[in-house]
Amino acid sequence: MKAVYPAAGKERLLFCAIFITQMSLIKNEFAPITFRFGFVEASFLSLCVAFEQWHRDIDAKFAVKTEFSNIVAPLETALLSLQPLTTPLDRYLLVETKSNWTAIFANGLRVNDVFSPVSHLPLRLNCRGLEVGYAPDRSKSDRKDLIRVWGHALFALYGPSNTDWLNRIRYLSVSNDVRGWSFSESGDVQQYEELDAYKKRLIQERLTFEMLERYCRALGIDVNQLDFYGPRSCAVKTTGQKHRGDLSMSIAEAKSHLDLQFGSSPGSF
């Protein structure tokens, strides 16, 4: 039976406003890139070497070519190297941080697949990987030109050894789809988790942006602090893929097709 929730009151509207305007990396300036990204617990140089070795294998197997370019710039500038955004994606950006982790962004227009590098590379580097995601729900917008966004919050931690599902240590997700909102969790509970939140009646409140920030901070990641990132980055571009989509956009174009203004669409959370 699908849960029915009461109409939004003032508290609910305030929660929505915070979700859309403040609770997003760089205030959604680089959405949809920042709807989902990841980290690998390795130094910037170690990750760059491992990423290049991994893509040599991919290049040989699929007859494609991957190029690597070094960048020294603030995150806001380095993210521009991911343009244009495409489906499927063909670019990654590896960004050093002021921690033991290196960040990974991708240029997917509809889906950013950072799952592949953040789950595979820990096996090569004997470390952990993390995938985080947070996006407002825009599935009910009336705009015809919309890049439809289904709301989600994601925290997925990977390790260097096989588990009951690949090498995933812990998985937490709140997401919306055609069936409605759902909450999923699996793997080993981590000591920093706020278990009482998972029992809340409103599914969207079981994994909030604030919780994601706190979970990341417990791992040494200041996920929403701009000065945590950079200045060194490595831009990764793959060419020669046989199956290419026709749709590509700049970050500004993609953002213009996202409905990110509070109050412009029902069904946000």
- Check: CB of residue 216 under 8 Å from CB of residue 222: yes
The residue type found at 227 is: D
Does residue 265 form part of some domain? no
pLDDT band at 18 (very low <50, low <70, confident <90, very high): very low
Residue 3 lies in a domain: no
Angle at 234 between CA 89 and CA 84, to 5 degrees: 35
Quote the number of domains for the chain.
1
Q: Please indicate, yes or no, if residue 269 is contained in any of the structural domains.
A: no
Q: Is the pLDDT of residue 9 over 60?
A: no
| Distance (Å) of CA 66 to CA 36, 162, 236, 239 | 22, 28, 7, 6
Q: Quote the tokens at residue 247.
A: 């749709």
The answer to the question of residue 47 being in a domain is yes
Residue 74, preceding peptide bond in cis (omega within 30° of 0): no
- Residue 206 CA to residue 30 CA, distance in Å, equals 26
Find, among 238, 210, 137, the residue nearest to 178 by Cα.
Answer: 137
pLDDT above 60 (res 209) = yes
Q: State the pLDDT at residue 242.
A: 64
| In-domain check, residue 17 | yes
Highest mean pLDDT among 38-47, 111-120, 136-145, 256-265: 38-47
Q: How confident is the model at residue 231 (pLDDT cuts 50, 70, 90)?
A: very high
Which residue segment(s) compose the domain that 153 sits in? 10-256
Average pLDDT rounded to a whole number, residues 191-207: 96
**Rounded to the nearest 10 degrees, what angle do helices 44-62 and 115-125 cross at?**
110
Res. 21: pLDDT tops 60: no
pLDDT at 29: 81
Express each pLDDT in 150-170 by its tens digit: 889 999 999 999 888 999 999
pLDDT at 71: 97
